[in-house]
Chain A
Amino acid sequence: MGINANGRPATRVVKIRVRRYDPETGRRWWQEYRVEAKKGTTVLDALLKIKAEQDHTLAMRYSCRMGACGSCGMLINKMPRLACETQLLELGTDTVTIEPLPNFPVLRDLITDFGDFFKKHRDIMPYIVRESKKENEEPYREYYMPPDELNKIIRYSYCIMCGLCYAACPVVAIDKKFLGPQALGQAYRWVTDVRDEGLRLRLEKVDDKHGVWRCHFAGSCSAACPKGVDPAQGIQLLRSKLVALTAGARRDKKPTHVATPTTVRYVDVGDAPKPTVEDKSLLVKHLEETAQELEQDLPYVAQALRDYLRTITSS
């Protein structure tokens, strides 16, 4: 065992207790492993090491290993965390307990079923809803919005749907139908979006006894969130918006500074950047060669290339 510059041992053996579950027999048990941890070893690293060297039957879900995908949410030392962002030595305990996320059905060992969770997210329509049918069904250009309007919703856009808030919520623990902090936080995000006109449609889902009124501000969702999304704040703001609407404070909607595919552009977002290749002849030559190569196998692509070639040479 090596020694660090500060005189402490570079590695330490950590006992890991995993709550396991076998769906075929219905057996649930605690299993202990010992893993050598050094500075920077994450819980996910340790689990993968166990799977590779000690017990290949241990099942867990992960993908990106860098806190961007939200697959490896687990209950680590009784706190919902991302296994890839939690370091073993930073936990500061000799024994680390790892359980599957609560409030989700367990499929096997540390793998939980997110079907219900995703369904609730779909229920609040997490996309831009426009009143115009044409804009909804045949969008052909992006919408523009000013940066200060984006700043109001960007916090909620950072959600990676890891389910930690859902596992931490004390209301989800007792009410199966409760939409949960993730879906309600996202509902606020879409309702506040200036490009969106689906307020009424979303309120039908949210204004319900299993919806926004079921939250009692325990704040656990925000305390557990690894991305600083703060669903608790979103739910309270959504609720105060509902209270204001119900109390008759029907302020006329301010003209939104947003440009849609069918309306005039209010916001000057500038023109597209100039092409970096000034000399067109190189590009033209390359395109012609490529089109000739593709003529045999992919005639449509070759045709498309020629069309494009025509537009850039004519302008």
Chain B
Amino acid sequence: MGEKRKPRFLENRLGIMGNIVPWVLMIRDNPERVAFVLHRLTGLLLIIYLPVHIFVTSMTVNPQKWEDFLRLEENPLAQFFLWILFGSIVFHGLNGIRLLLVEGLGKGIGKPEPPEPPYKPTSLSSAQRKWLYAVFAIWLIVWIVGGIILFREFGWV
């Protein structure tokens, strides 16, 4: 009789890094996953920004304090942060509309029909995929144009 073995099983959950780091898991033909990660990250940023935003708007009570704050916002770094924030709001809003249609009302994902080889998933080739590309396109255009307007006064563009 040998020594009793105690096997240890490995908890192999990918965790948050599996979502964010793209080379941990590479799913083919899946821009929805990119939208999922972006939606989470922008949502996180917005939820952090919301209390800050309420605090900032409360500054208008004191005109002197408000003027000081506006001077702070002339800092290029603050402007860059505002630009990131602007992009987050646009993406989160646009993708949110798509998600409401898809998740809440079950639109744009096709009908559950019998699958035919080569077994393409209906939900990933239906209308919601087009909406997703539209979200990406509108977001990038609005974000870049907004950036041009924002950074023009710094002479960056």
Confirm or deny: B120 has a beta carbon within 8 angstroms of a beta carbon on chain A. Answer: yes
Check B109–A113 contact: CB distance below 8 A. no
Check B102–A217 contact: CB distance below 8 A. yes
Check A236–B18 contact: CB distance below 8 A. no
Minimum C-beta distance from A107 to chain B (A):
6
Q: Which A168-221 residues have C-beta < 8 A from chain B? A: 168, 170, 172-174, 176, 192, 215-220
Residue of B nearest to A113 (CB): B9
Which of B32-40, B58-66, B68-76, B140-148 contacts its partner? B32-40
Check B36–A222 contact: CB distance below 8 A. no
Which of A30-38, A224-232, A299-307 contacts its partner? A224-232
Secondary structure at the B interface, as helix, strand, loop or mixed, is loop
Confirm or deny: B105 has a beta carbon within 8 angstroms of a beta carbon on chain A. Answer: yes
Q: Known interface pairs A223-B28, A232-B121, A233-B121. Does A218 touch B14 (Cβ–Cβ under 8 Å)?
A: no
Minimum C-beta distance from A173 to chain B (A):
4
Confirm or deny: A145 has a beta carbon within 8 angstroms of a beta carbon on chain B. Answer: no
Confirm or deny: B7 has a beta carbon within 8 angstroms of a beta carbon on chain A. Answer: yes
Which residue of B23, B28, B112, B124 contacts A234 across the interface (Cβ within 8 Å)? B112
Chain B residues with Cβ below 8 Å from A92 are none
Check B13–A232 contact: CB distance below 8 A. no
Chain B residues with Cβ below 8 Å from A271 are none
Confirm or deny: B8 has a beta carbon within 8 angstroms of a beta carbon on chain A. Answer: yes
Residue of B nearest to A188 (CB): B112
Chain A residues with Cβ below 8 Å from B99 are 216-217
A: which residues have CB within 8 A of B? 21, 23-24, 26, 28, 75, 77-80, 100-108, 112-113, 151-156, 158, 168, 170, 172-174, 176, 192, 215-220, 222-230, 232-234, 236-237, 239-241, 243
B: which residues have CB within 8 A of A? 5-16, 18-19, 23-30, 32-33, 35-37, 39-40, 99, 102-106, 109-110, 112-117, 119-124
